Chain A
Amino acid sequence: MIDISVNNEPKCVEAEKPLAELLAEWGFECQRVAVAVNEDFVPRSSYGSVCLNAGDRIDVVAPVQGG
């Protein structure tokens, strides 16, 4: 297990699980979101192959109103 943060909230996850599985566990499956890891964009096509490292900072964003 490794410690990471998701949207600045601490989480403990299995290191070998790909991002796609983790997003589903966290409840983001089927939602319109975009993801960055350590401030680097992660394209949707990579969710199945990307695994996380201890200390990674994950950002999950969705559309909001904007000016």
Chain B
Amino acid sequence: MSDTWTLYGATFNSRLLIGSALYPSPQVMSDAIAASGAEIITVGLRRQSPEEAGGQSLWTHIQKLNKTLLPNTAGCHSVKEAVTLAQMSREMFETDWIKLEVIGDDYNLQPDPIATVEAAEKLTGLGFKVFPYCTDDLVICQRLRDVGCEVLMPWGSPIGTGRGLMNPYNLQTIRERIPDMPLIVDAGIGKPSHAVMALELGYDGILLNTAVAQANEPVRMAEAFRHALLAGRSACLAGAMPERQTASPSTPTLGMPFWHQS
């Protein structure tokens, strides 16, 4: 059964977006991304010296993967930095997709919600298709939608912590109040069970990097996430039973032997 989803008019089968950083080697990166089934990978831009050959080696590896690229503005702390890096990315990677990150605090790498909205508005005005990394704040998500974002990416927990969904209630509220936009949990996913939980909440996809790249066996973990996303999505479509406060037996009570009316 086909269960695709659409991001800015492009249709995908896999609900995993995966980062290309922190792997033990480029070969492990390639193998893990292939095992994950992901069709979208995130990339970045950094200062290079000529001796480093302008990122040619990485670029060769990335091109061989033949995936859709989602460049990021990681590390930017202001609207100006983020907009300029987005413009440089558009030229470099020949895509108008941009994962918008404007960091507000270096301790927990929390996005600056106000600057993120301002940058998103500028970028959509410049023709970018913005994937904003944001906090799990409903009103910020609504503002990002209002300035033209067609996808939202609230965090599960801070980048690289692997703590999963810190505030499922907030994430669920965003899903309920914004039912028709693709929602992706970005950051904080540490285990496949976290990804299952996000999709059970009705989220459309997951963006992760460290959980796979820093696993003891990244390729095996990538495969585990592939299964987790299928499980979570099926569970969402199937509809979970309501939680109950009290126990309720599964086996029929009628006909129970040894029972006597007292």
Besides A66-B44, A67-B44, 9 more A-B contacts (Cβ < 8 Å) are A32-B54, A32-B92, A36-B84, A41-B84, A41-B87, A61-B48, A63-B62, A64-B43, A66-B19
Among residues of B, the one whose C-beta sits closest to the C-beta of A66 is B44
Whole-angstrom distance between the Cβ of A58 and the nearest chain B Cβ:
10
Residues in B whose Cβ lies below 8 Å from that of A40: 84
The reply on B91 being an interface residue by CB < 8 A is yes
Instruction: Decide: A67 and B71 in contact? CB cutoff 8 A.
Output: no
Is B93 a contact of A65 with CB atoms below 8 Å? no
Whether A65 pairs with B45 at a CB distance below 8 angstroms is no
Q: Determine the interface band of chain B, counting residues with CB < 8 A from chain A.
A: 35 or more
Choose among A8, A41, A62, A67 the residue that contacts B48 (Cβ–Cβ < 8 A). A62
Interface bracket on A: 20 to 34
8 pairs of A and B residues whose beta carbons are closest in the complex: A66-B44, A27-B50, A31-B54, A62-B55, A67-B19, A67-B209, A34-B88, A41-B87
What are 12 contact pairs spanning A and B, CB under 8 A? A31-B50, A32-B92, A34-B92, A36-B84, A41-B91, A61-B45, A62-B59, A63-B62, A64-B45, A65-B19, A66-B20, A67-B209
CB proximity to A under 8 Å, residues B53-91: 53-56, 58-59, 62, 71-72, 74, 80-81, 84-85, 87-89, 91
Q: How far is the CA of A25 from the CA of B53 in the complex (A)?
A: 14
B88 to chain A, nearest CB (A): 4
Contact A66–B55 (Cβ < 8 Å): no
Binary contact track B159-182/A, C-beta < 8 Å → 1, others 0: 100000000000000000000000
Bound together, the chains give a CA A64 to CA B2 distance in angstroms of 34
CB <8 Å contact, B81 and A39: yes
- CB B78 to nearest CB in A, in angstroms, measures 9
Given the interface pairs A39-B81, A41-B84, the reply to whether A66 lies near B42 with Cβ below 8 Å is yes
Q: How far is the CA of A31 from the CA of B60 in the complex (A)?
A: 13
Task: Assess whether B59 is in contact with A66, with CB atoms less than 8 Å apart.
Answer: no
Chain A residue contacts of B210, Cβ below 8 A: 67
Is the CB–CB distance between B45 and A67 below 8 Å?
A: no
Q: Which of B47, B59, B71 has the most CB of A within 10 A?
A: B47
Out of A8, A36, A64, name the residue touching B88 (CB < 8 Å). A36
The docked-state distance in angstroms from the alpha carbon of A32 to that of B54 is 6
Residues of B within 8 A of A36 (CB): 84, 88
Chain A residues, CB < 8 A from B91 = 34, 41, 43-44
> Nearest Cβ in chain B — how far from A34, in angstroms?
4
Q: Produce 1/0 per residue, B84-105, CB < 8 A to A.
A: 1101110111000000000000
